[in-house]
Amino acid sequence: MNENSFICENCGKRVSLRAPGTHNRNHCPYCLYSLHLDNDPGDRRSVCRGKMAPVGKMYKKDGEEVVVHRCERCGFERRNRVAGDDDVEMVDKLPILL
């Protein structure tokens, strides 16, 4: 583990923190899993550290697609921007949440 990459706890792939289209990569582009590390985006102050599964996607008013993650440990939900190199087939397969 270093500042520029992390190992995905779900699929085990190494993920670069530099992502096109977002300043703050918080999920794996291969399996879309995230980790419950933040209370507010980027603060890294959560004590939970559970895996956050991609449970669906939503469209914001401006049409931007966002992935909804839910923590498998505590149930916390968060919306995340889709990064430019996220696996589009994985994003396509997510159910659309209203």
- Considering the complex, state which of residue 59 and residue 84 has its C-beta at the smaller distance from Zn ion: 84
Q: Of 43 and 62, which has the nearer Cβ to Zn ion?
A: 43
* Closest-CA residue to 82 (of 3, 14, 44, 29): 29
How long is the chain? Answer: 98
* Interaction of residue 8 with Zn ion, rule CB under 5 A: yes
Q: Is 54 exposed, middle or buried (0-12, 13-18, 19+ CB in 10 A)?
A: buried
In the stretch 37-76, what mask flags binding to Zn ion with x, by CB under 5 A?
Answer: -----------x-x--------------------x-xx-x
Is residue 95 within 8 A of residue 56, CB to CB? The reply is: yes
Q: Which residues bind Zn ion (CB under 5 A)?
A: 8, 10-11, 28, 30-31, 36, 48, 50, 71, 73-74, 76
